[in-house]
Amino acid sequence: MPAQHWARNFIITEDDLEFLTGLLLERETPLSSDDLARALIENRIQQEIAELEARYKDVQPYTPAGHFPTGTKVIFPAVNFEVAKVVSTRPGKNASNYGDFTAITVQFENDKLNKQPLREFASDLKTPHALSEESQGAESSFLPTESPSADEILAANGKEIIAALDRKLNAADDLVLLTGKWFPRALLVDVNIGHINLAEAVLDLAEGVPLSTETILEEIGGLENAPQELQVFSMNYALNNDSRFDEVGPSGEILWSLARLEPKEVLHIPPMLAYSAIDYDPELLDANLRALEQEICDELSDIPDMPLDDPLDEVTVTLIYPHRRMGTFPLNAKTRPIFPTARSTPRVWVTVVDDEDGEEFPCWVVRNSRYVHGLAPYYRKHRLPIGAYVNVFREDEPGKVAVSYNGHRPRTEWIRLITSQNNQIAFENHRRAIGAEYDDLMILGADELAMVDGFFQTAQQQKKALSSILKTIIPALGRLTPQGTAHAKTIYSAVNIIRRCPPGPIFATLIANPDFQTVGDHYWKLTSD
């Protein structure tokens, strides 16, 4: 039975469903689709072996020299190992050539073959015959050979089999699926409104810190005398169906939180991080600009994630204004594989650890919106500027990620400071004490946050086009240099003060709009009149 046989012929029957339901009832333990698929495959293997053994029980392999009385079951290796029954015998003819022998008349079991006329074969043949020599040792060749293991079948065809199984299980009304595991609805422990209200009170006392189901059960006194795993599954099922509760654990761990206690920046993307997509032609970007886009690695850029099976151990990100202002961290193509994932929940609770002193910061991974919320205290603690390099890397403990920055003794340096001129955004060079390494092309200072926030709000209210924003930003930055130019990375960093935007549309607008002129090395200025 080659493994490919399973992919071609694997259809989930009602008998299979009954077997799996019985297995769940017998074990009283929730099982995943992978576990159920393995159990079903092992059951199918045993069934096939049993069927083969039953079919070939008391069956003799055909050889012209063999003796086969009426009623004998015979297998014919030369006829594709089909099985037939001897229905009559008679003395053979042509004894002058073959000596005395017996002709047996057989009826094949195969539906197609047994509709044909009865067939005759020679037996009790004393003279040598090539078929007799070929049949020596055939006594065991028709017996069931070693079957592929469940591991081999799952390795070859697991995705197809599990997908077919999930479709069948989803259609079964008497089974429920939760956190990737199946269980009979009838065996769920009763979780009443009193249990739910107690669970809410326990989470209230935790003041926004998510708790495991086991901890909640311990605090409320458990559910009857049911096995612990069954109590956990039943409580998870009840909480999952109550809108007050939010499952926020990383893959492999279930943690519950009260939705009303979660930060609003987690439930709804902050306006400064919200991107209204801008249509542009990526083909406008040459190889150098595409390389610059890859270097910036904005989380909104269309860049494939690092492979999950070969992710980077440590990733460095350059902070832009929206993330520094909102206390968030970008989930870009490089950082996404580092942060915990979840099977279905849109928000994941994670602990971010300060690599310098071990201080822990409770954070939320908002994977669909591509940011991590909760790093404002870390940024303030180390006084990180816009444009600072921030490093993230995995911790050994699941659900934890470490963060660091490239620090040094604070030194006074010239940086671009966001100011205002005629109620428009402007920039001035000012001296500031900086204690962290940064990207010189992207660093910005902001002393009056209310003023800077006002620039963003005005742009949103007026629905300023990207080209209009660029016509304000580029000359404002150009006044800081004798050439009146600004680097593409600096332009990108400054645009994001006013409007959240990845570099692709910015670069494409610079190229496509004749109001902007490149002077080489990614520097741009307004076109001269």
Q: What is the pLDDT of residues 31-86, one digit of tens each?
A: 888 999 999 988 988 888 887 777 777 888 888 888 999 989 888 887 877 888 89
Determine the Cα–Cα distance for residues 317 and 299; give it in Å rounded to an integer: 10
- Can you read off the two tokens belonging to residue 498? 């006013």
Q: Which two tokens stand for residue 441?
A: 């092309």
Q: Domain 416-526: give its CATH architecture.
A: Orthogonal Bundle (1.10)
CA distance linking residue 203 with residue 242, whole number of Å: 14
How many Cα neighbours within 13 Å face the side chain of 520?
Answer: 1
Q: Residue 378 phi/psi, 5° resolution?
A: -65, -45
Structure tokens at 126: 């004393």
Long-range pairs for 355-358 at CB < 8 Å and ≥24 separation?
A: 355/391, 355/393, 355/402, 355/403, 355/404, 356/382, 356/404, 356/407
Q: Where are the alpha helices (DSSP H) in 272-416?
A: 287-296, 321-326, 376-382
- The predicted structure's pLDDT at residue 312: 66
Matching CATH topology for 188-262 and 416-526? yes
Q: pLDDT at position 529, please?
A: 44
User: Domain coordinates of the chain in residue numbers?
Assistant: 4-55+146-181, 59-135, 188-262, 288-408, 416-526
Rg (CA), the chain: 37
- The list of the chain residues with pLDDT below 50 reads 1, 136-140, 144, 529
pLDDT at 310: 53
Q: Tokens 């047996």 label which residue? A: 104
The number of beta carbons lying within 10 Å of the beta carbon of residue 469 is: 22
Q: What is the pLDDT of residue 139?
A: 46
Eight-class DSSP state of 282: G
Q: Which is nearest to 179 in space by CA: 267, 259, 256, 253? A: 253
Q: What stretches of 241-330 show up as alpha helix (H) in DSSP?
A: 264-267, 287-296, 321-326
Q: Architecture of domain 288-408 in CATH?
A: Beta Barrel (2.40)
* pLDDT tens-place string over residues 108-158: 887 666 677 788 888 888 877 555 555 544 444 555 456 678 888 888 888
* Residue 179 CA: distances (Å) to CA of 27, 32, 52, 336: 18, 9, 39, 22
Q: Quick one: tokens of 358?
A: 């071990």
Residue 57 backbone phi and psi in degrees, to 5: -65, 130
Q: What is the pLDDT of residue 98?
A: 75
Sign of the CA dihedral with 196 first, then 197, 202, and 205 last = positive
Contact 319, 387 (CB under 8 A): yes
* Per CATH, domain 59-135 is 2.30.30: yes
DSSP string, 185-247: GGGPPP--HHHHHHHHHHHHHTTT--EEHHHHHHHHT-STT--HHHHHHHHHHHHHTSTTEEE
Q: Confirm or reject CATH 3.30.160 for domain 188-262, answering yes or no.
A: no
